[in-house]
DNA sequence: TGGAACGCTCGTTCTTAGCA
DNA sequence: TGCTAAGAACGAGCGTTCCA
């Protein structure tokens, strides 16, 4: 029998209060915070006239939002991981810091989206202005640049990708399917019962959606050319019907359709001096364009005529290691440090890696990793294989989930 | 198990309103 | 009158769920 226990006592509260809260927006932008830095930079350091040519309301027309306001909202949103223009608008309505930055204006999400998409070049120029400010403030050490990449998903499904041969096969398969459904449809054309009629309507819808997919693949094959890989033995790489600039790539969490974002960071204050997106799974080919962009940018901004002759050290991980890159660094006399993919097997520090970390170990070939943890992938012991030659990882066991009908068809599922 | 329907996010386009 | 902002509608794309 449960013992009687008196109700605990809590502090009283009342929703029916008419309290007024006074907020000073300037107090929300405290020196030392990121929002203050964004506000200060845009108001006092950056030349926003790069945005002006796109406006044509000097004499007539409605007043436009000042690029300073839009930039503050967008940059602060990005710093908080918010990239959706609708969410930015919502933040301007509800968030006190956004209100302080936007001076309590609420630009429409289409205005924010248009600003980003319509001023891509000006925004890039602005990045260089920020870099120049960093240089003037002594935030760039130029002693060591670290290069690394991360893989980001694009808004495109990997099921819509393949080589031209594979896509042609998919087109043939779709044609065959449409013929099959049409034949069945004609055979049952004289439907009499409601059930038969309903089935025929469903079949007609299937034919339409298959035809749509067929047209999509067909249009792509007629208007595009096969994408060729780089290197000595360049072979065709998979194209993607939705976003052909992105690429199918292997990550630690499986295969994704996306981009390789490569950033270069100055060691002194971890200032990003270059950021580019490449539609390639391999990082090898991104080293040279990245180094050349940094060099050209430093020359253009007057930071250094030839940055790599100042004994600046370049570091990158094993993803960037190949013979061509080593040759390039050697010829250009760039002081670069890139470990090859067998450095672990030579380094005694990595000998006890398995015993120390348990979950991961590297086998003798150094091209294959195995995740032996039984608690990954729903207790099935997912084995994730990675191979330099581009072999896709095995999918985790369990119920198959994924894209809808046509995409599944295209993937050959 | 395959296919359709649905929900969700996001950007673009078109139309209308507002402003000088 | 001509421009920009705002609002509504639309379409693209993806992933999940439901059902035959």
Please provide the DSSP assignment of A321-383 as one string. --HHHHHHHHHTT-EEE---TTHHHH-GGGTTHHHHHSSEEE-TTSS-EEE--TTSTTTT---
Q: Along chain A (413 residues), what's the average pLDDT of each consecutive run of 10 residues?
A: 73 80 87 92 88 77 82 86 82 85 84 80 84 94 92 77 79 76 66 59 70 77 76 72 80 76 93 88 88 94 91 91 91 91 76 59 30 27 26 29 35 36
Distance CA A249, CA A280 (A): 7
- Closest residue to B3 (CA, C1′): A405
A210: the nucleotide nearest its CA (via C1') is B3
A405: the nucleotide nearest its CA (via C1') is B3
Q: Which nucleotides of C are covered by protein (CB under 7 A)?
A: 1-8, 12-17
Long-range contact pairs involving A274-277 (C-beta distance under 8 Å, separation at least 24): A277/A152
Cα–Cα distances (Å) from A285 to A158, A234, A325, A381, in that order, read: 22, 12, 8, 34
- CA A403 to C1' C17, in angstroms, rounded, equals 12
At A338 the pLDDT is 92
Mapping DSSP to helix (H, G, I), strand (E, B) and coil, where does residue A192 land? coil
> Which residues, listed in sequence order, are joined to residue A187 by a DSSP beta bridge?
none
CB of residue A113 closer than 7 A to nucleic acid strand B?
yes
CB of residue A107 closer than 7 A to nucleic acid strand C?
yes
CB of residue A106 closer than 7 A to nucleic acid strand C?
yes
Residues 6+ apart with CB under 8 A from A162: A170, A238, A239, A410
CB of residue A180 closer than 7 A to nucleic acid strand C?
no
C-alpha closest to that of A213 among A165, A178, A244, A185: A178
- Closest residue to B18 (CA, C1′): A62
- CA A55 to C1' C2, in angstroms, rounded, equals 12
What are the φ and ψ backbone dihedral angles of A149, each rounded to 5 degrees?
Answer: -125, 155
CB of residue A63 closer than 7 A to nucleic acid strand C?
yes
A70: the nucleotide nearest its CA (via C1') is C5
CB of residue A57 closer than 7 A to nucleic acid strand C?
yes
At A289 the pLDDT is 93
CA angle A319, A323, A324 (to 5 degrees): 95
At A259 the pLDDT is 83
Residues 243-302 of A with CB under 7 A from strand C: 257
Question: pTM to 2 decimals?
Answer: 0.75
Q: Which nucleotides of B are covered by protein (CB under 7 A)?
A: 1-6, 9-14, 17-20
């Amino acid at each position: 029998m449960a013992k009687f226990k008196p109700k605990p006592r809590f502090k009283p509260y009342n929703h029916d209060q008419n309290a007024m809260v006074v907020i000073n927006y300037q107090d929300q932008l405290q020196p030392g915070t990121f929002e203050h830095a964004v506000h200060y930079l845009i108001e006092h350091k950056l030349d926003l006239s790069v945005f002006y040519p796109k406006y044509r309301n000097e004499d007539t027309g409605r007043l436009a939002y000042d690029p300073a306001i839009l930039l503050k909202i967008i940059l602060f949103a990005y710093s908080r991981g918010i990239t959706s223009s609708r969410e930015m608008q919502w933040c301007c309505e509800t968030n006190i810091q956004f209100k302080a930055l936007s001076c309590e204006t609420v630009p429409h999400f289409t205005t924010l989206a248009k600003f980003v998409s319509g001023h891509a070049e000006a925004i890039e120029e602005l990045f260089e202005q920020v870099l120049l400010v960093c240089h003037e403030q002594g935030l760039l050490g130029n002693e060591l640049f670290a290069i690394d990449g991360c893989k980001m998903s694009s808004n495109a499904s990997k099921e819509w990708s393949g080589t031209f041969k594979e896509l042609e096969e998919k087109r043939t398969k779709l044609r065959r399917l449409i013929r099959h459904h049409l034949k069945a449809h004609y055979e049952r054309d004289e439907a009499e019962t409601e059930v038969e009629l309903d089935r025929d309507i469903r079949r007609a819808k299937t034919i339409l959606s298959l035809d749509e997919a067929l047209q999509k693949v067909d249009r792509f094959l007629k208007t595009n050319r096969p994408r060729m890989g780089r290197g000595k033995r360049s072979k065709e790489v998979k194209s993607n019907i939705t976003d052909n600039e992105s690429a199918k790539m292997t990550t630690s969490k499986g295969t994704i359709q996306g981009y390789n974002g490569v950033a270069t960071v100055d060691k002194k204050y971890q200032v990003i001096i270059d950021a580019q997106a490449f539609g390639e799974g391999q990082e090898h080919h991104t080293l040279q364009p990245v180094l050349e962009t940094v060099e050209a940018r430093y020359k253009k901004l007057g930071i250094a005529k030839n940055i790599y002759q100042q004994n600046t050290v370049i570091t990158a991980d094993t993803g960037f290691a190949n013979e061509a890159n080593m040759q390039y660094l050697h010829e250009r006399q760039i002081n670069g440090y890139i470990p090859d993919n067998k450095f672990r097997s030579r380094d005694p520090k990595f000998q006890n890696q398995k015993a120390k970390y348990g979950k991961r170990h590297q086998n003798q070939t150094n091209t294959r990793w195995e995740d032996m943890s039984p608690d990954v992938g729903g207790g099935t012991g997912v084995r994730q294989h990675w191979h330099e030659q581009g072999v896709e990882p095995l999918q985790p066991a369990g119920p198959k989930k994924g894209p809808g009908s046509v995409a599944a068809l295209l993937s050959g599922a």
